[in-house]
Amino acid sequence: MKLVLLLVIDNGSVDGTYEILRRYAKTGRVELHQYPVYDKKQYALVTEMARRAASKHWADWVLNADADEFFLPVDRTLALREALEHIPATLGAVTVPVINMTGRPAPTGSGLGRLVWRDERPEDTLLHDAGLPAHPTFDAIHVGDPAVLVRQGNHFVSIPSQGEPDARWAIEVLHYPWRSWTQFRGKVDKSGQAYANNPTHTPSPRHHGLRDYRFLGAGALERSYLYRHPRPGGLEVAPPGLVRDTWLDESQRCLLTSGRALLPAELAKGLDDEGDGAYYTTADWDDAATIMRVAIALDQERTTTLSALHESALQARARLIAEFAEQSRQFTEQEQTLAEYRHAHDSITRSVSFKVGRMITGVPRWARDRLGKIGDTG
């Protein structure tokens, strides 16, 4: 088993990503597809790719990854292929933790050299410290299956999990969701438009992507971007809850100098720290924190109200569905009773005894009619 192929869907990118992917596709290591519609049907696209990986490429394991996720063995001395080779296929599906990588915010750039801190802050302080409601949900990797279903976000699949692998072969995901202000703004705008274009997809009022889209509309998204990073002046030493992890940046630089990179020029662009532009200052962060603490509190109040209304609407819908189901059941029972009555009636009217009975009861009536007529003529 080797990790030899990436199945990639480009979802209408306009920043040169598709052209870069085409160059990688020519190496034979990327199978490239396009889906230029912003409709947030990620689950359908990923399901299609996961099934294709099994049916067309005979994949042993399938890793459904977003563009900002890097799957790595927890033991960095291992290659990902080695870890997967030791995970029994009988487990079916395995959950892997997702860790946000953070660091100094910047207007532009890839961020690999800046975002070198694992965000392991306690979740109960995350909203106050960074304006984030929670850490990311785990991802699911799974064995190849041409009938698999992948849920929105890649967090759950239809293949049951039969347990977790031995800790020696554990896998985790390093997540880089906000690499620069320019990248983050574009991501939020496209995601928000996609939800607006797909009215059948109704995420929870607490959905982080929709919250960011509200901040974008209110002109507060750049401050939100700053606030979710640690305060720039406090990164000389490890801030509380952040753990330094430079492995990805260092490994990519080693790959570049080793001569083994598929497209060295493209990799070099991604590692160019000068593309980060002018850094934000501590004063910028303090201003963002002051405003965002108020904005987040107001948004939380709004979200709580909407969530309560949403829950009430769901309960009312469930009651209506239950009432309709009960009425349908009663109607069906009545139809069955009526059908049984009709069947019994037809059986009786077709029976010999019923016809004879009618003949017997018919004689006295005929006789009375005839006698009546005789009496009238006499």
Using the predicted structure, report yes or no on whether residue 1 has a pLDDT greater than 50: no
Task: Note the pLDDT of residue 234.
Answer: 73
Using the predicted structure, report yes or no on whether residue 367 has a pLDDT greater than 70: no
Query: Roughly how many angstroms between the first and final C-alpha of the chain, as a whole number?
Result: 114
Gap between the Cα atoms of 119 and 125, Å rounded: 12
The H or E element spanning position 193 is helix 181-197
Tell me how far the alpha carbon of residue 220 is from its chain's centroid: 25
> Do 175 and 248 form a contact (C-beta atoms < 8 A)?
no
Residue 1's SS3 state is: coil
Using the predicted structure, report yes or no on whether residue 312 has a pLDDT greater than 90: no
Residue 15, both tokens: 């920043």
Task: Note the pLDDT of residue 168.
Answer: 96
Task: Note the pLDDT of residue 254.
Answer: 95
Task: Note the pLDDT of residue 58.
Answer: 93
Using one digit for the tens of pLDDT, what is the confidence trace for 150-160? 998 889 999 99
Using one digit for the tens of pLDDT, what is the confidence trace for 5-30? 999 999 888 888 999 999 999 999 99
Gap between the Cα atoms of 375 and 378, Å rounded: 5
- Residue for token pair 């410290």: 129
Task: Note the pLDDT of residue 192.
Answer: 86
Using the predicted structure, report yes or no on whether residue 368 has a pLDDT greater than 80: no
Q: How many CB atoms lie within 10 A of CB 242?
A: 19
Confidence of residue 3 (pLDDT cuts 50, 70, 90): low
Least-confidence region, from 69-78, 227-236, 255-264: 227-236
The H or E element spanning position 23 is helix 17-25
Gap between the Cα atoms of 331 and 343, Å rounded: 18
Using the predicted structure, report yes or no on whether residue 303 has a pLDDT greater than 60: yes
Closest by CA position to 105, among listed 287, 295, 299? 287
Using one digit for the tens of pLDDT, what is the confidence trace for 171-204? 999 999 999 999 999 999 988 888 777 777 666 6
Using one digit for the tens of pLDDT, what is the confidence trace for 90-109? 999 999 999 999 999 999 98
Gap between the Cα atoms of 341 and 354, Å rounded: 16
Using the predicted structure, report yes or no on whether residue 292 has a pLDDT greater than 60: yes
Gap between the Cα atoms of 378 and 370, Å rounded: 12
Task: Note the pLDDT of residue 356.
Answer: 58
Using the predicted structure, report yes or no on whether residue 340 has a pLDDT greater than 70: yes
Query: Percentage of the chain with pLDDT > 70?
Result: 87
| pLDDT: which is higher, 342 or 134 | 134
Query: Percentage of the chain with pLDDT > 90?
Result: 54
> Do 126 and 132 form a contact (C-beta atoms < 8 A)?
yes
Closest by CA position to 230, among listed 295, 177, 282? 282
What distance separates the 2 farthest-apart alpha carbons in the chain? Answer: 134
Gap between the Cα atoms of 252 and 254, Å rounded: 5
Using the predicted structure, report yes or no on whether residue 216 has a pLDDT greater than 90: yes
What lies within 8 Å, CB to CB, of 123 at 6+ separation is 134, 135
- Residue for token pair 């190496």: 27
Region 113-136 average pLDDT: 91
Region 122-137 average pLDDT: 90
Region 288-312 average pLDDT: 79
Region 318-332 average pLDDT: 79
Gap between the Cα atoms of 224 and 221, Å rounded: 5
Tell me how far the alpha carbon of residue 378 is from its chain's centroid: 99
Domain spans of the chain?
A: 65-280
Task: Note the pLDDT of residue 306.
Answer: 57
| pLDDT: which is higher, 96 or 354 | 96
Confidence of residue 139 (pLDDT cuts 50, 70, 90): very high
